[in-house]
Amino acid sequence: MWSYVKRYLHFAVIAALFMVGEVSMDLIQPRLMSRIVDEGVLGVANNGVADPHVILTVGITMIALVLFGGFCGSMNNVFVHMAGQNIGNEIRKDCFRRIMTFSFPQIDTFGTGSLVTRVTNDITQVQNFVTQFVRGMIRTTLLMGGSIFFLFRLNHQFGKIVLCAFPFILGCMLFCLIKANPLLSKLQAQLDQINAILQEDISGIRIIKACVREGYEKVRFGKANNALIRTQLQVLVIFAFMNPVMNALMNGVVVLILLRGSVQVGQHMTTPGVIMAAITYTTQMLNGILMLVMLFQNISKGVASWKRVREVLNSRSEQKDGYFDGETAVHGKVEFRDVSFAFPGTGQTVLKHINLTIQPGETIAIMGATGCGKTALVGLIPRFYDVTDGTVLIDDVNVQDYPQKGLRDKIAIALQKSELFSTSIGENISWGAPGASDGKICASACIAQADGFIRTTPKGYETPVAERGMSLSGGQKQRISIARAVLKSAEILIFDDSTSALDLKTEAELYAALREAKPESTKIIVAQRISSVRNADKIVVLNNGSIEACGTHTELIRSCKTYQDIYHSQIGEEGEHRE
């Protein structure tokens, strides 16, 4: 954390100096009040005659010191928050940058809900830890140390009484903190679970309502929330026990001071004003101890949160960049050499000994039953995951030898689940090529068969898209995603079942426009419908993670049993469409 704190250390130092000023004013007050009582009210030094002049002058001095202390306190708040807010801002930005470098397996390991909690709640806790440490630790240390120092100056016996109570006070604090610390980490993990449920349910609210599962999700969220509350209550009970014990100890100290003070007053060894000042210093010290308790509670939360944030900051992408930056002899060639793949942590092989070569400019279709590994296969091309065995090559270069940016610049992808952002339609399309002209955006939309419906929207390409594209139909979202991929000047175009929501006529027009506009690009189409793939140069049929057959539509109709089954299951539907 020091690497962040030192950037704004000057704010923390200035805040500390102002805190010294504020606490100093608080420590001076009891001594001045004792003068008002002894000299102004009781007239101890004037044969019992009150002195209003002392009350006035010392009172004005006290008011002036209080105002100065208030100014120091305000300035301390300003600078301590400048330090804390800036440190939190830097940590949050660095966390987000780090997350953007994570591989898919790393994101799966952390979990989306956990990452959201770490970047929001945990960093807020760390930010509060910094501000409260700078403000609270200095204040409590000075207040406690100063109170004991002035107590000893007032009366050594009063100071010794307070020191005797210290071991009991510290023992109570340590006991409660040791009990509470494990619960604080558990608390953050339970908050992760709540955020994960919230994200799942808000993202899937339509299917929840369609399946009438609102009641089930309420119960699931309620259970997670109840677990969180139970843990929070355990923590609160621990600290609720501590406060009365601490108050009892300190009140006992006050009673002992009063008893000893009454004896000393009778022996003319002290004055009522000194006893009053001693009680005030004891009360200040009690407040300092209670603040220290709360401070340690917040520090414990901050440290637990910092450990979780540090896990993100210290994580390095498992996929190391390669160093190849030369020119290749071919452009758009894809080759799988004896590739096998299993998703990390599952141990279940999804792809087995895949050997496939796709030549530049070819259109290759990939078909197969659900779960046969189609998406996993195309996900290896942009290196979303690394192969378990074998090699994937782009333009005769291992994908692991490319820098990730250089590799993905060669590839454009449109996914079945269209990811859209809360901005305009035009800006969503331009994600494929930032800074593209309006003409190119319109041209790519025309190829994707999206221009027609876009122009019917209230503001055309400037029409805002609702969160997650909720203002658009499934087919409209897919066409915008395809336009985004087409806009990108890429050697390889991957359509991962990205036309599943389009009708057959629109899909046919899209592929015809794509062949005409991008004849030199290699096109890889993952699809479930025969109509989507029958015009491809080659069709690859996957079965249980292996290539069962590869050929043209005509060849596979004659030789591949799986392809024949798919064809016969769909021919009735397609025949009806043609009629």
What is this structure's pTM? 0.70
How far from 397 is each of 321, 330, 364, CA to CA, in Å?
14, 10, 20
Q: Give every strand in the sheet of 538-543, ordered side by side.
A: 411-415, 492-496, 522-526, 363-368, 538-543, 546-551
Q: What is the C-alpha radius of gyration for the chain, rounded to an integer number of angstroms?
A: 36
Q: Are 481 and 502 in contact (CB under 8 A)?
A: no
Environment class of 339 (CB within 10 Å of its CB; exposed 0-12, middle 13-18, buried 19+): buried
Q: Which helix (H) or strand (E) holds 369?
A: none
Q: Provide CB contacts within 8 A for 166, sequence distance 6+.
A: none
If phi over 0 gives left and psi between -120 and 50 gives alpha, with beta otherwise, what is residue 215? Answer: alpha
The whole-number pLDDT of residue 470 equals: 74
Residue 40's nearest CA partner among 25, 21, 67, 62 is 62
Helix (H, G, I), strand (E, B) or coil at 336: strand
Helix (H, G, I), strand (E, B) or coil at 492: strand
Residue with tokens 């440290």: 303
Tokens of 196: 């994960």
**Interatomic CA distance for residues 421 and 425, integer angstroms:** 9
Could you give the domains of the chain?
2-314 (1.20.1560.10), 328-410+491-579 (3.40.50.300), 417-489 (3.40.50.300)
Tokens of 499: 């036309």
Q: Provide CB contacts within 8 A for 334, sequence distance 6+.
A: 356, 357, 358, 381, 392, 393, 394, 492, 522, 524
The whole-number pLDDT of residue 173 equals: 75
**Interatomic CA distance for residues 545 and 409, integer angstroms:** 28
Report the Cα–Cα distance between both ends of the chain, in Å, rounded. Answer: 69
Q: What are the 10-residue block averages of pLDDT along the chain, 579 residues in total?
A: 86 90 86 78 69 83 90 90 90 90 81 82 86 83 82 78 78 77 76 78 73 82 87 81 76 79 74 78 78 75 84 82 84 92 82 92 89 88 90 92 89 84 87 84 90 87 79 85 89 88 86 88 89 88 89 88 84 45
**Interatomic CA distance for residues 526 and 500, integer angstroms:** 10
Alpha helices in 518-559 (DSSP H): 530-533, 553-559
The whole-number pLDDT of residue 224 equals: 87
